Structure 1
Amino acid sequence: ASDQNAPSCRCTPTESHFLCVNQLSDEVSTAEETCDDPLSFGGRVRAAAAEAPRVCTGTLKESERVCSNAKGSPRKRNTKEGERGISAMALATVWTYCVPLTIFITAACLVDTARCQAVQAENVTVLEGGTAQISCRLQKYDGSIVVIQNPRRQTLFFNGTRALKDDRFQMMLFSPTMVRITLTNVSVSDEGGYFCQLYTDSTHHQVATLSVSVPPEIPTVEVKQEAVEGGEAELTCVSPRSKPAATLRWMRSGREIPGVVSQQDNGKTFSVSSTIRIPVERKDNGAALNCEALHPSLGGQNRVRRYRLDVYFAPTVRIIPPSGILREGDSLSLTCSITGNPLPRTTQWSKINDTLPERAEISGPTLQIARLSQSHNGTYLCQAQNNYGRAADYYTLLVYDPGAVVETHSAVPYAVIGGVLALLVFTVICVLIVTIWCSVRQKGSYLTHEASGLDEHGEVQEAFLNGNDVSQGKKEYLL
């Protein structure tokens, strides 16, 4: 311990393990005295360090031989107390001195990794909340110490024995060729490299990387701007947590609606949002929109949020009239049909330029008057209102005497008669146009032939033009 040239005051890791198990805690003072003599222990450490490169590539027996040579220094004590003192000293100083030489030997092993490789680790990817299997394959295992550590370099298992109190980790297999542990209820905090370490002549380790995939939950839809008839609707689809980041898309009637996508890194996971702005009309009220979250871990089974478009618009009002004529003593029932979003909660009935009859009863959108009389004649008005407008419709009531004869005409025959009359008028006009056109054409042809006749018969032309006296005699001309 007092020799500054000695990197440590102990033998190789294999020998250290051998010495450590000899727990002679009652002779620590003797161990310290033995360590004070550089020639009795420090020299042996230097010899072991010099042999480290060869020990790394040699067999276990060669390692034991080197340690044995290290213990056999010229100043070796032959007494039992001396040997036991060395063992006790190793126990007291194992954490102080074992680590430097271990690192030294490991560095020597890295010179030729192919020959030193004694353990292989397998990378693992698992869904959050699932179970991960971390496996370490051993090559030429000779019974040396095997240690499994988590990403924080905390020892989970030491030669198959649990070292960390975490019941989620279980040793499933410990054999000369394979060491396998399981981790249940995996979370993103468990992600990282798990170390498989094999302590032989030197320390060999491989890292099994655990990757945790976080599938997205069903996304949510946030209304950024309410949809009013003639305006725009602004909707945002949000997937708050996934790893890797989920892909969001809006769909309507099987067609994708392009959106503005934003992504935020939350450290271990990602949050994603997609915002759309679409023009809306009254007919779009109740239209189905889907926000889908796509992720590699879902295997094509997308997470879907279904949303019904809510378009606000002013109400419309229509009074449904009774069928037939109304006579004194009959009952009247008028229903006010109202649409709108939101639907008006109340309906207002009134009579223009008058008050409602005493016998009038209002039940929701319906107005009823029993035992009608001619005093009830007049115009009745139905009104409805919501936050986006007001609408009204009216009905004129005409009550007849009980014995009055009233001709009723169906609206359908009037429509048919009107159509027939229109067709007849159109036909007459067409006939007149054709007749006039034909008459004009025939007159033009007659005048043309008349002029042609005058040119061919000069005497006739002269007779017409000079006005010869009749007394000169009658002549006949063939035209």
Structure 2
Amino acid sequence: MCILCLFAHLCLLPGGPDVVEPEPDAPTYRVTSALSLEVGRADDNALISCMVDHRSLPPGERRTEQPLRVLFTPVVDIEAESTLPREGEKFYLQCTGNGNPSPRSYAWERKDGELPTLAKVDGAFLMFEMLNKSDNGVYQCQIDNGIGKSEGVYILQVQEDADPTAMSTSSGVDHAVIGGVVAVIVFILLCLLIVLGRYLIRHKGTYLTHEAKGSDDAPDADTAIINAEGGHSGAEDKKEYFI
């Protein structure tokens, strides 16, 4: 690309030889300097400045700028909705292209086969209505901007989805088992307490009965005392046996 600087004697970049031409029917001259550049996509919209240096003009009074317009094929990038696409979820891929001019068309394809049935193309987007493990593969997007075509690829790996219903069911079963064990333990303790209480009550009644034996059948107080002492001896034996 050549940039022409009218009345140029000095440019910011070294240009070609100056061309001096007389103006028709005027005592003036036209001086032209050409600048040839090898540009790339990074030079798009860069400004080229040209300044005239003449002894009849103050420095920098004559200056002009020209932005470069570099045409180049697009650089393709594919962006995913999520870094961890999960089975059963909605998901999309977006194809973006940085080029000059802007991209005109997008084309999606799957390298290892046809696009999934539940996937549809919407311009720069590839939409998945419901992800499945069978959607795993390499997807390619091609962009055309009239200058050229470029391609980008994306490797889709669908993650298995943990079933929250199964997790809650398992948790419920665990709680049920724990509750059942606790109920059995409490029931056994209650049974032991009942048996022990009945045992203590029965032995206490037997002790009192033997201790009072003879007193009820005594005709008088002396006989009751004698019988009680005899019963007391028996009670001592019973008490020692109980201990």
Query: Shorter-normalised TM-score: what interval?
Result: 0.5 to 0.7
Change (3 A) 1:237 1:358: farther
Measure the CA separation in 2 of the matches of 1:364 and 1:293.
49
Change (3 A) 1:248 1:367: farther
Bigger relative contact order, structure 1 or 2, given CA contacts below 8 A and separation 6+? 2
1:345 aligns with 2:113: no
- Quote the offset at 1:310 in angstroms: 2.4
Q: Is the 8 Å Cα contact of residues 9 and 53 (structure 2) preserved in structure 1?
A: yes
Task: Show CA shifts across 1:123-147 (max 9, x none).
Answer: xxxxxxxxxxxxxxxxxxxxxxxxx
Change (3 A) 1:360 1:247: same
**Partner of 1:397 in structure 2?**
156
- Quote the offset at 1:367 in angstroms: 2.1
Residue-pair matches, total: 162
1:106-185 alignment, distance < 5 Å: none
**Partner of 1:260 in structure 2?**
17
Q: Is the 8 Å Cα contact of residues 249 and 259 (structure 1) preserved in structure 2?
A: no
**Partner of 1:381 in structure 2?**
140
**Partner of 1:280 in structure 2?**
39
CA RMSD of aligned residues (A): 2.8
Measure the CA separation in 1 of the matches of 2:105 and 2:144.
8
**Partner of 2:65 in structure 1?**
306
1:26-425 alignment, distance < 5 Å: 233-238=1-6, 246-251=7-12, 256-266=13-23, 267-268=25-26, 269-296=28-55, 298-403=57-162
- Quote the offset at 1:323 in angstroms: 3.4
Measure the CA separation in 2 of the matches of 1:302 and 1:328.
68
Following TM superposition, where does structure 1 have runs of at least 4 consecutive aligned residues deviating by more than 6 angstroms? none
Q: Classify the secondary structure of the residue corresponding to 1:283.
A: helix
- Quote the offset at 1:290 in angstroms: 0.5
- Quote the offset at 1:289 in angstroms: 0.8
Q: What is the letter of the counterpart of residue 18 of structure 2?
A: V
Measure the CA separation in 1 of the matches of 2:14 and 2:155.
49
Consecutive unaligned residues of structure 1, counting only runs of 5 or more, are 1-232, 239-245, 405-479
Q: What is the letter of the counterpart of residue 138 of structure 2?
A: T
Measure the CA separation in 1 of the matches of 2:64 and 2:161.
63
TM-score, structure 2 length as denominator? 0.56
Q: Classify the secondary structure of the residue corresponding to 1:311.
A: coil
Measure the CA separation in 2 of the matches of 1:263 and 1:389.
40
Measure the CA separation in 1 of the matches of 2:43 and 2:65.
15
Measure the CA separation in 1 of the matches of 2:32 and 2:121.
50
Q: Is the 8 Å Cα contact of residues 315 and 389 (structure 1) preserved in structure 2?
A: yes
Q: Is the 8 Å Cα contact of residues 51 and 60 (structure 2) preserved in structure 1?
A: no
Measure the CA separation in 1 of the matches of 2:138 and 2:37.
43
**Partner of 1:167 in structure 2?**
none
Q: Is the 8 Å Cα contact of residues 328 and 373 (structure 1) preserved in structure 2?
A: yes
- Quote the offset at 1:385 in angstroms: 2.9
Identity %: 30
- Quote the offset at 1:273 in angstroms: 1.4
Task: Show CA shifts across 1:242-270 (max 9, x none).
Answer: xxxx444322xxxx423321122122143
Q: Is the 8 Å Cα contact of residues 381 and 394 (structure 1) preserved in structure 2?
A: yes
Q: What is the letter of the counterpart of residue 350 of structure 1?
A: E
Q: What is the letter of the counterpart of residue 15 of structure 2?
A: P
Q: Is the 8 Å Cα contact of residues 78 and 152 (structure 2) preserved in structure 1?
A: yes
Q: Is the 8 Å Cα contact of residues 328 and 401 (structure 1) preserved in structure 2?
A: yes
Q: Is the 8 Å Cα contact of residues 248 and 291 (structure 1) preserved in structure 2?
A: no
Consecutive unaligned residues of structure 2, counting only runs of 5 or more, are 164-243
- Quote the offset at 1:275 in angstroms: 0.5
Measure the CA separation in 2 of the matches of 1:278 and 1:247.
17
- Quote the offset at 1:358 in angstroms: 4.5
**Partner of 1:153 in structure 2?**
none
Q: What is the letter of the counterpart of residue 257 of structure 1?
A: P
- Quote the offset at 1:359 in angstroms: 4.0
Q: Classify the secondary structure of the residue corresponding to 2:36.
A: strand
Q: Is the 8 Å Cα contact of residues 139 and 154 (structure 2) preserved in structure 1?
A: yes
Q: Is the 8 Å Cα contact of residues 11 and 50 (structure 2) preserved in structure 1?
A: yes
Q: Is the 8 Å Cα contact of residues 260 and 275 (structure 1) preserved in structure 2?
A: yes
Q: Is the 8 Å Cα contact of residues 52 and 60 (structure 2) preserved in structure 1?
A: no
Q: What is the letter of the counterpart of residue 249 of structure 1?
A: L
